[in-house]
Amino acid sequence: MTKELKKAENHAVVLPAKEILGLEEGVYENELIIPRAKLMQPTSPELSENEDLRQGMVANSVTLQECPQKFIPIKKEAKWIRFNPLKSTDLGFDSNYKPGSIIWQSKDPDSPEVKSEGYFGPQGEPPLATKFLNFFVIFEGQFVPNIIGFAKTSYNAGKQLLSLARYSGENALFSRKYVLKTLKQQNDKGVYYVFKIAQAGKTSDLEYKACFSAYQDLIKKEPVIHEEESPFD
């Protein structure tokens, strides 16, 4: 198999890859899960299962390998998810669902669920649903897209990335690259980590072309991604 993008009879793009025995027919993008860049918190279960992981590390949610710091954003999407609380005594707990499971999710800001449970109430009541600011990205030295999801305590970092891209004066989100760092925080509940964003200059012509190709694929279909996890760490 060559490193060129190949097309199957139904025009589904097959990922470029070196020859792998047993995968001679190729691999379709919709057969793979787009991994998430997972920020390892003190409560992350993976820490007790893998000695190579550490608190504050950003790891690929599928391979559990550390993600490079530099990345290029390709496409942004907002998503709301209502997770069932972990305890039956918590606000909004629904006994019809398992603790921590997804009750509903939507990308439509005008959907009835988002309107009723996705925003702060008139008296400042917190929303029952969590808003994710998701960016499809390509990390430096890789060609398979990943997802960086900004929510809860890292939501402001997502807004910073969006603002930097929006006011950059460029014609595409992937015209510039950025650095994904983590910052240690502490409150009355203990230590936790948040994302931090910094600029890293313009993309090269080769990087821009690769990202443009990935962007075209992303807008043509609904990719299969590693699902957002309950933000109850």
Look at 206 and 143; give whichever has higher pLDDT: 206
CB 98 within 8 A of CB 84: yes
Average pLDDT over residues 187-214: 90
- Euclidean distance between CA atoms 140 and 86, whole angstroms: 37
- Euclidean distance between CA atoms 10 and 65, whole angstroms: 33
DSSP structure string for 10-68:
T-PEEPP----TT-TT--BGGGSPBPBEEE--TT-THHHH-TT--TT-EEETTT-PBPP
Closest CA to 66 of 75, 77, 57: 57
CB 232 within 8 A of CB 83: yes
What is the rounded average pLDDT for all residues in the chain? 83
Average pLDDT over residues 47-73: 92
pLDDT at position 233 over 50: no
pLDDT band per the 50, 70, 90 thresholds, residue 4:
very low
DSSP structure string for the chain:
--SS-EE-TT-PEEPP----TT-TT--BGGGSPBPBEEE--TT-THHHH-TT--TT-EEETTT-PBPPSEEEEEEEEEEEEEEPPSSTTSTT--TTS-TT-EEEEES-TTSHHHHHHSS--TT-PPPSSEEEEEEEEEETT--S-EEEEE-GGGHHHHHHHHHHHHTS--SSGGGEEEEEEEEEEEETTEEEEEEEEEEEEEPPHHHHHHHHHHHHHHHHS---BPPPPPS--
- Euclidean distance between CA atoms 135 and 140, whole angstroms: 15
pLDDT band per the 50, 70, 90 thresholds, residue 62:
confident
- Euclidean distance between CA atoms 41 and 104, whole angstroms: 25
Average pLDDT over residues 74-80: 91
pLDDT band per the 50, 70, 90 thresholds, residue 55:
very high
pLDDT band per the 50, 70, 90 thresholds, residue 49:
confident
Distances (CA, A) of 98 to 58, 85, 86: 28, 9, 8
pLDDT at position 7 over 80: no
Confidence (pTM): 0.80
Average pLDDT over residues 1-19: 41
Closest CA to 178 of 192, 160, 193: 160
Tokens of 25: 């027919």
pLDDT in tens, 159-185: 999 999 999 888 889 999 999 999 999
Domain boundaries, the chain: 1-32, 35-220
76-85, 146-155, 190-199, 210-219: the lowest-pLDDT one: 210-219
